[in-house]
Amino acid sequence: MRRELTFLLALWKANLLAAMEYRVAFISQVVGMMLNNAVYFLFWVLFFDRFQQVRGWGLNEMLILFGVVAAGFGLGVYLFGNALTLADVISGGRLDYYLSLPRPVLLHALASRSIVSGLGDAAYGLISFALAGHYTPDAVGRFALGALLSATIFLSFLVLTQSLAFYLGNATQLSAQATQAIIAFSLYPITLFDGTAKLLLFTVLPAAFMGAVPAEFVREFTWSTLAQLLTAALAFLSLALTVFHRGLRRYESGSAIQVEV
């Protein structure tokens, strides 16, 4: 465990150094993403300015929601950037490289890429949370935990969908759509959805666990919400690891995708 942590830190350091080689790009991507998110959030500002609230959700709830999702998402894609492109890594045969090294394949593959704009998302998330006005230390603690668990669920979902590449050969479009869907749904007030839709958002497309439930947890501590979050995070993480390694075995037997003889 400790060895992997040392390794991860070294990998993250290398990514940071590589990014810092291009100062202008670094800053413009971080700042650009913050502005990007802020302008998008204006939609909700305008909406709630006009309509005050919708099904129990108001501006404050949205600030917290955006805060926890952006922070989790941003940190997740900054530290494990290849989660968004794992399908391409698999289809392109680039797993061979990680397989020839004595480190866990998935971890190595995911952390080998860093999406700099993620820092902008994370920073934006912090600001959004700050604007919501919950300054008690336990609220901040819940925010950190909520963002962490949200990131875990999001990354697990990504690994799950991107691992389809082991079975389909080309899963880029499909996983891109799934990624877009979960992000979009996670940033919407969950109370807008009923019945089947709501069920889907707690299971197949766990946007609720990525957004609504962590946000709820940040607003108010209950054992129930904490339990839900932890269970969901654990469940999706184990599922993701299982599916990936099953696919990897398939890849190693050569029956996965295009074969280069």
Partner 1 sequence: MTLRRPLKYWAILKTQLLNSLAYPADLASRSLTIALFMWMFVQLWRATYRSAGQETIAGLTLRDTLWYLMMAETIVLSKPRLSRTIAEAVKNGEIAYLLNRPYSFLLYQASVGVGDSLLRLALNALTGGALVWATVGPPPDPRGWLLVLPAVALAWTIDFCIAAMIGLIAFVTEETVAFEWIYGKLMLILGGVLIPLDFFPAWLRSIALAMPFACAIYGPARLFVEPDPARLLSLLMIQGIWVMALGLLLTALYRRGVAWLTINGG
Partner 2 sequence: MQTVHVRGLRKTFITRRKAPGLRGSLRALLRPERQTVEAVQDISFDVGEGEVLGFIGPNGAGKSTTIKILTGILHPTEGQAEVLGFVPWRQRRQLAYHIGTVFGQRPQLWYHLPAMDTFYLFGKVYELDDRTIRQRIAFLAEAFEIQDLLETPVRKLSLGQRMRCEVAASLLHRPRLILLDEPSIGLDVVAKQCIRDTVRHLNELEGVSVLLTSHDAGDIEALCRRVIILNHGRIVYQDEVSALKRRYLTSKLVEVKYAEEVATDFRVEGAETLKVGRYGVKLRFDARETPAGAVMARLAEAGDLVDVTISDPSLEEVIRAIYGKKP
Considering only the stretches 105-113, 131-139, 173-181, 213-221, report the one whose residues sit in contact with partner 1 under the rule CB under 8 A: 173-181
Choice from 9, 10, 99, 197 touching partner 1 (CB under 8 A): 197
Looking at the Cβ atoms of 114 and 152, the one nearer to partner 1 is 114
Q: What are phi and psi of 53, to 5 degrees?
A: -155, 160
C-alpha torsion angle, residues 219, 228, 164, 74 (rounded to 10): 20
Considering only the stretches 92-100, 152-160, 193-201, 205-213, report the one whose residues sit in contact with partner 2 under the rule CB under 8 A: 92-100
Contacts for 81 with CB less than 8 Å, ≥ 6 apart: 15, 110, 111, 112, 113, 114, 115, 118
Choice from 1, 17, 24, 101 touching partner 1 (CB under 8 A): 24
Q: In this structure, what DSSP letter does residue 185 have?
A: H
10 binding partner 1? (CB under 8 A): no
255 binding partner 1? (CB under 8 A): no
Distance CA 120, CA 35 (A): 9
Q: What are phi and psi of 43, to 5 degrees?
A: -55, -50
Residue type present at position 51: F
Looking at the Cβ atoms of 22 and 40, the one nearer to partner 2 is 22
If contact means CB under 5 to 8 A according to the sort of partner, which of partner 1, partner 2, none does residue 7 touch?
partner 2
Distance CA 62, CA 260 (A): 50
If contact means CB under 5 to 8 A according to the sort of partner, which of partner 1, partner 2, none does residue 193 touch?
partner 1
Residue type present at position 32: G
Residue type present at position 59: L
25 binding partner 1? (CB under 8 A): yes
Is residue 66 within 8 Å of 211, Cβ to Cβ?
no
Choice from 56, 101, 135, 136 touching partner 2 (CB under 8 A): 101
CB of 123 to partner 1, least distance (A): 14
Q: For residue 44, which of 64, 71, 74 has the smallest C-alpha distance?
A: 64
Q: In this structure, what DSSP letter does residue 113 have?
A: -
40 binding partner 1? (CB under 8 A): yes
Is residue 122 within 8 Å of 82, Cβ to Cβ?
no
Choice from 10, 42, 204, 230 touching partner 1 (CB under 8 A): 42
Which residues of the chain form contacts with partner 1 (CB under 8 A)? 24-25, 28-29, 31-33, 35-36, 39-40, 42-43, 46-47, 49-51, 53-55, 173-174, 177, 180-181, 184-185, 188-189, 191-193, 197
